[in-house]
């Protein structure tokens, strides 16, 4: 009786081991197939192309500021954007766009130069120098700021998630 019980236990154990082994092997095959699928369908994007895209977005943002055009920022800035203006005020996307579209300042020129981009997989950090000439409350003002933007790359492209502006000397108060 003990022999039959021992043989039955061994048979069940081996049967269970074979079933589990089949499931593990099947899962391994599925994992491999998924990995191959990801590798063959994910397109490699040249880092230099990504860098150039961020540089273009930085230049476009300067142009949008000059034109007081909030549409660019609605498209490129993430919904949870948070930024700090040159005078320390924190703003979200809505407040940033309101500042850009404000009729208080009229920019004669607004350019982004010295643009540098560092890529970190699906994230990029861009720094640049913003130079502007504007009329603010009837006064002509020339001004420069150092700017940093953090971008994340998602399904719909690059989006700015954070930014900060820092006044360059002489420290003249500006709306941004």
Residue 9: the pLDDT is 55
**Banded pLDDT at 154 (limits 50, 70, 90):** very high
Among 88, 82, 167, 154, which Cα is nearest to 122's? 154
Highest averaged pLDDT of the listed ranges 3-7, 37-41, 66-70: 66-70
Beta strands in 24-96 (DSSP E): 77-84, 90-92
- Output the six-digit token pair for 155: 């399904």
The tens digit of pLDDT for each residue in 96-137 reads 999 999 998 899 999 999 999 999 999 999 999 999 999 888
Residue 22: the pLDDT is 53
Residue 25: the pLDDT is 72
Residue 32: the pLDDT is 76
Average pLDDT over residues 6-24: 51
Residue 162 has pLDDT above 80, yes or no: yes
In percent, how much of the chain has pLDDT > 90? 64
Distance CA 22, CA 25 (A): 5
Residue 29: the pLDDT is 75
Give the number of C-alpha atoms closer than 13 A to the C-alpha of residue 159, restricted to the C-beta side: 14
Residue 17 has pLDDT above 60, yes or no: no
How would you classify residue 71: left for phi > 0, otherwise alpha for psi between -120 and 50, otherwise beta?
A: alpha
Average pLDDT over residues 49-66: 97
Residue 36 has pLDDT above 70, yes or no: no
Residue 18: the pLDDT is 46
pLDDT mean across residues, the chain:
85
Distance CA 141, CA 168 (A): 13
Which residue shows structure tokens 């603010």? Answer: 136
C-alpha separations of 108 from 42, 52, 61, 75, 122 in Å: 44, 26, 15, 24, 35
Residue 8: the pLDDT is 52
- Record the pTM: 0.72
């Amino acid at each position: 009786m003990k022999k039959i019980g021992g043989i039955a236990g061994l048979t069940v154990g081996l049967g269970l081991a074979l079933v589990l082994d089949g499931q593990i092997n099947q899962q391994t095959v599925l994992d491999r197939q998924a990995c191959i699928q990801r590798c063959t369908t994910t397109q490699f994007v040249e880092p230099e192309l990504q860098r150039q895209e961020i540089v273009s977005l930085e230049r476009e943002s300067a142009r949008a500021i000059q034109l007081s055009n909030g549409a660019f920022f609605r498209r490129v800035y993430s919904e949870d954007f948070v930024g700090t203006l040159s005078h320390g005020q924190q703003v979200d996307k809505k407040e940033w766009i309101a500042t850009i579209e404000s009729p208080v300042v009229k920019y004669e020129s607004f350019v982004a130069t010295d643009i540098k981009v560092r890529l970190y997989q699906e994230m990029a950090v861009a720094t640049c120098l913003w130079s502007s000439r504007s009329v603010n409350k009837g006064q002509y003002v020339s001004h420069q700021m150092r700017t940093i933007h953090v971008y994340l790359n998602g399904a719909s492209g690059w989006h700015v998630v954070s930014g900060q502006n820092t006044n360059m000397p002489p420290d003249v108060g500006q709306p941004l």
